[in-house]
Structure 1
Amino acid sequence: MILEAGMKILRRAELPRKQPGRALLLFLACSSVLLFFLNQSHLATPFRTGPRSPPRFEAGPVDAHAAVSTTYAQRRIQDYQSPEYTAPGDTAPHPPQPQNAPPNEESGKEETPEKEEEEEEGEEEGGGGGGGGENSTESLISAILDEQRQRLRQDMENYAFHPKLKAKSVKDLVLEEGGRPVRSLVITTWRSGSTFIGDVLQSHPGTYYHYEPLLDFGINQVRHGKEAAQAIHNLKHLLTCDYSGMEHYLDYGPDHPWLFAHNEVLWSRCQAYPDLCWRPEFLSPFCSLFPFQSLKTVRLRLNLTQELLQDKKLGVQVLLLVRDPRGTMQSRRHRDWCPGEPDCDDPARLCSDLVSDYNTALVLRRRFPHSFRAVRYEDLSFDAYNMTKELFNFFHLNYHPRVQSFLDTHTKETIGGVSSTFRDSKTAPIHWKKDLEWEEVERIQRVCHKALKLWGYVVAKNEEHLRAFMPVGLFRFP
C-alpha cells in the first residue's frame, strides 16, 4: 500500500531518470508522511499484532477477592469429576435424573401459546422461576440427611451413655436437636501414632471424624502468630459443624481428597455425590447429625489448645499423644514430603516442641484436670486394650463392641505400608532400634537429651546397648 502511493507520487513528479537520489529521498519522505497519518488514525496496531502476539487491552477492574491477603499459599483447584455410579455398599438415595435443558433463546424457535401456558403454570406451582436447580439440590441434601438419621438411629440403639454425660437420649448430644456433642481432640506431631488412635475413635458408633483439619497449612508446626489464630478459628468451626468461613480449607480438598477420605461416613457420601462433597450447605447439616465429634491434628502445638479448653460451651476433651523422637524420626524417613522441611526433618525442632509440650502439659493438668491428659504412644501400643478403655473413659465414650473388634483386627500383625494402622502393637513402637544406624541415633540423642529424659525414654549408650535395650522407661508427671 505504501509502496504504491510512493510510486504514484514519483510518476507525478516527472523526475528525470538521471536523478535517482532525489527520487529516493522524495519516496522516503512520502512514506514517512503516510506512516504518520496511519498512526494517528489507530491503524498501526494491525501491523504489530499478529497471531502470536495477542492484542493489548486496557487494565480492567481489580478482583477484590484476589487482592485479599491470606496466611496460606494459594493453590489452583482442579475440577472434581463426578462418578456416574453409587459407591459399592452405599444405599444412599439416588440423585435425581438431570432435567432437560431450557430451549436456546438464539435458536430462533418460537414458543407456542400452549407451551407458554404450561410453563407459567409450572412456575406458579414451583413458587416462581429460576429456582429449579436450587430446589433439586436442597431435595437431594434433605434425602441424604434423612437417610443418615435413620442409620444413626440404628447405630445408637441401646447405646450405653457414659455417666458423666448426663444424657437421657441421643438428642442431648446432637447439634441439630440443640444438644452438645461429645468432642474429642488429639494433639501430636507427624508419625507419632495419631492415625491409629484416630481410627480407634472412629470405630465408635455415631462418630464424625475430622482428619487433619490443618492439612492446608503445609508441612509446618503452628505455634503462634496469625497462623495460630487461623488454626484455632478452623478447629472451632469444625468442632461446631460450621463450615462457613472455611473457603481455603474447602478449596484445598478436591486436590487433596484424603482430607475427607479418612472420615468414612462422609467419604461414602462424597463418592456417591461428589458435587455436594465440598459445599458448606451440605457439610454443616450433615456434620450436625452426629453425637460424637473426633478431631486429630499433627500441626498444632499444645500451648494453643488452652483457648479450646477454656471454652465451656465447646466442652472438648484434649489428649496429647507423645512418641519417642528416635522412633518418630525413623518413621519420617519413609515419607517423601518430609526431607527439606525444617519442622519435619530436624530432630532439634521436634525435641524442642516435646519440651515445650511437656511444660505446657504441666500447666494444663493443674488447670483442667478432667479435660486434659497426656499419653505416650508406646504405652498405648504395649497395652492397647486396657489403655483404649482408659482413654475412652477420659473421652466420655462407651467401650463399644465395634471398638473391641477394631483392636482385634488392627493390633495382632503388621499389614500394609507405612500409613497402615494394621500393626503388631507390641513391636511397632520400637522397631526403630533395628532400622536406625547407631550414628543416626547418636545424632538424635545429642539434641534430644532433655526431651527424652522428661518423657521417660532411655538413652542408648552404644550400638550394642542400642540393639538390646528397652528404650521406654517409666513415666509420671511430677
Structure 2
Amino acid sequence: MVRKKGVYGIAIVALICFLLIVFCTKEPDTVRISHNFQAIEFEDVDVIGEDISIDKIIDTQRLRLERKFDVFKFVTNKTFNKLSMLSGGQPLRTIIVTTWRSGSTFLGDVLNSLPGNYYHYEPLLHYGIMQIRGPPHADTAIKTLKNLLNCDYTDLENYLTFGMSHIYLFTHNKRLWTQCEAYPQYCWNATFLNEFCRLFPFQSMKVVRVRLRLIEELLSDKRLNTKVILLVRDPRGTLQSRRHRDWCPGEPDCDRPDLLCADMVSDYSAAIKFNKMYSRRFRTLRYEDLSLSPYKVVQDLFDWIGINVHPEIKEFLDTHTTVNVGGVSSTYRDSKNVPFHWKNDLNYTEIQSIEATCEEAMKLWGYVKTKGPKLRDFNPLTSYTIK
C-alpha cells in the first residue's frame, strides 16, 4: 500500500513538473504598446527590437491603414492605393500658413486627428525666430517644404540634425513618433522616413515662418495639388499671446507690431491673387471664427479638402473646445473665450498703440477698433472680403 502511494506521489510530481515546463516555454504574446496623445489613438507597434527591418515596419503599417479604409469611407470614389505614394497614388495635402500664436497649433491638431494623416509640424524650426519674406532664405525654405510634401528626406540634413536635439519637431507627428520610440535606430534615417511618409493617404503641414506670397511655388505645382489655408488672427490677440513666450521678446519679427501687421497686409494682397488663380485650393480663415464655431468651420474645411469627417475628429473637438487644461501651448481650451483674452490682459494704452500701428491690417481682415476702455461687451469682429 505504501509502495503504491509512493508511485502515485512520484507520478503527480512528474505531471506538475511537465506542466510547469510547458507553461514556462510557451511563446509569449506579441508585445503591444498603446500610446495616447491628446485623446487620439496612435498606430500600434507589433514588434519591438533592433532586428526588425524597415520593410517589415512599412508592411505592418500598410495593412493597418488599408484596414482603416475598409472600415470608414474617408474619400468618396478614392481607394487607399490611389492616395498612397507607395502604391503610385498621391495623398491629399493641406498646408496651414500663418504666424506665431495665431491658432495654428489647434488647427494643426484638428487636421492631425484624422486617422491616416502624416503631420509635418513647423518644418522650418531650424531657421529660428524669423519671418522669411524673400532672399536669402526663401529658396532653401520652399525647397524644404516641397521635399517634405514629396516625402523626400534625402537632402534634409539641417532639418534632421536640428530635429535630433529638438524632438518636438517629430513628436507632434504622433504616428511617426510611435515608430521612433519603438525603433530609435530608424527615427532620423532618411530611407525609413521616405518610405514611412509615402504610406500615408493624407498629409498636413503648418508653416509659421514663411509669408504667403512665397507659397505660390507650392500652389502652382500641379502634381502636389496641395490646398492652402491662410490662418489669420487679430493682431491684438497675437501680440498679447506672444508675451507669454520667452523666445519672443527682443526678436523683431516676433515682438514688433509694425512688422506683424505689414505681413498681414502683404498676406492679404497675396490672398487676392491666390483667390483668383487657385480658387479651389486656397482659402482664408480667421482664428476667431474657428474658435466661435469650431464644429461648423471644421465640417466646412473637411468638405473643402474633400475628406469625410471621421468620428475621431469630432471626439477631438468634444475634448478640446470646452475646458482650459495645460500651459500656453496646450490645445485644450475654452475656444469661445481664448481669442479675446487680450481685452483683459492688455491695458488700454497698449491696445491703442497696436490699433494705431495696425489700422490698415485690421480694416482688411475685419477687426474693429475699440472706442473706449470698457471692453467687456465689445465685439472686435466684423465681416471681411478678399477682393
Which TM-score bucket, shorter chain as reference?
Answer: 0.7 to 0.9
Alpha-carbon distance in 1 for matches of 2:226, 2:33 = 34
String of CA shifts for 1:144-170, please: whole Å, max 9, x gaps.
Answer: 11221122122222332444xx52x11
String of CA shifts for 1:108-128, please: whole Å, max 9, x gaps.
Answer: xxxxxxxxxxxxxxxxxxxxx
In structure 2, the CA distance between the partners of 1:460 and 1:239, relative to structure 1 (3 Å rule), is same
Does structure 2 retain, via aligned residues, the 8 Å contact 1:92–1:269? Answer: no
Alpha-carbon distance in 2 for matches of 1:175, 1:364 = 27
SS in 1 for 2:93: strand
Aligned-pair RMSD on alpha carbons? 1.5
The residue number in structure 2 matching 1:252 is 162
Alignment of 1:349-428 (within 5 A): 349-428=259-338
**Once the 2 structures are TM-superposed, how far is the Cα of residue 439 of structure 1 from its aligned partner?**
1.4
Alignment of 1:53-92 (within 5 A): 89=35, 90-92=44-46
String of CA shifts for 1:390-445, please: whole Å, max 9, x gaps.
Answer: 11112122111111111111111111111010111111111210111111111111
SS in 1 for 2:56: helix
SS in 2 for 1:336: coil
Does structure 1 retain, via aligned residues, the 8 Å contact 2:275–2:386? Answer: no
Alpha-carbon distance in 1 for matches of 2:318, 2:298 = 12
Matched, 1:172 2:172: no
Matched, 1:333 2:243: yes
- Amino acid aligned to 1:147: T
- Amino acid aligned to 2:382: G
Matched, 1:149 2:62: yes
String of CA shifts for 1:24-67, please: whole Å, max 9, x gaps.
Answer: xxxxxxxxxxxxxxxxxxxxxxxxxxxxxxxxxxxxxxxxxxxx
Alignment of 1:411-450 (within 5 A): 411-450=321-360
SS in 1 for 2:94: strand
Does structure 1 retain, via aligned residues, the 8 Å contact 2:95–2:228? Answer: yes
SS in 2 for 1:306: helix
User: Which ranges of structure 2 fall in alignment gaps of 5 or more residues?
Assistant: 1-30, 36-43
Alpha-carbon distance in 2 for matches of 1:152, 1:454 = 43
Alpha-carbon distance in 2 for matches of 1:469, 1:427 = 13
Matched, 1:276 2:169: no
The residue number in structure 2 matching 1:71 is none
Q: TM-score, normalised by structure 2?
A: 0.87
User: Which ranges of structure 1 fall in alignment gaps of 5 or more residues?
Assistant: 1-84, 97-135
The residue number in structure 2 matching 1:109 is none
The residue number in structure 1 matching 2:361 is 451
Does structure 2 retain, via aligned residues, the 8 Å contact 1:86–1:272? Answer: no
**Once the 2 structures are TM-superposed, how far is the Cα of residue 475 of structure 1 from its aligned partner?**
2.0
**Once the 2 structures are TM-superposed, how far is the Cα of residue 219 of structure 1 from its aligned partner?**
0.4
Given candidates 23, 39, 48, the residue that maps to 1:94 is 48
Matched, 1:230 2:143: no
Does structure 2 retain, via aligned residues, the 8 Å contact 1:200–1:407? Answer: yes
Which aligned runs of 4 or more in structure 1 are off by greater than 4 angstroms? Answer: 85-90
Give % identity. Answer: 51
Q: TM-score, normalised by structure 1?
A: 0.71
Alpha-carbon distance in 2 for matches of 1:87, 1:172 = 30
Alpha-carbon distance in 1 for matches of 2:243, 2:70 = 45
- Amino acid aligned to 1:380: L
The residue number in structure 1 matching 2:385 is 476
**Once the 2 structures are TM-superposed, how far is the Cα of residue 88 of structure 1 from its aligned partner?**
5.3
**Once the 2 structures are TM-superposed, how far is the Cα of residue 467 of structure 1 from its aligned partner?**
3.6
**Which structure's relative contact order is higher, taking Cα pairs within 8 Å and 6+ residues apart?**
2
Alpha-carbon distance in 1 for matches of 2:204, 2:295 = 19
Structure possessing the higher radius of gyration over alpha carbons: 1
Alpha-carbon distance in 2 for matches of 1:355, 1:177 = 42
Alpha-carbon distance in 2 for matches of 1:348, 1:383 = 30
Does structure 2 retain, via aligned residues, the 8 Å contact 1:322–1:376? Answer: yes
- Amino acid aligned to 1:322: V
String of CA shifts for 1:204-257, please: whole Å, max 9, x gaps.
Answer: 111000000011110001110131101110111100100011000001011100
- Amino acid aligned to 1:457: Y
SS in 1 for 2:339: helix
Alpha-carbon distance in 2 for matches of 1:355, 1:442 = 19
Does structure 1 retain, via aligned residues, the 8 Å contact 2:228–2:281? Answer: yes
Does structure 2 retain, via aligned residues, the 8 Å contact 1:362–1:477? Answer: yes
Alpha-carbon distance in 1 for matches of 2:347, 2:92 = 44
**Once the 2 structures are TM-superposed, how far is the Cα of residue 366 of structure 1 from its aligned partner?**
0.5
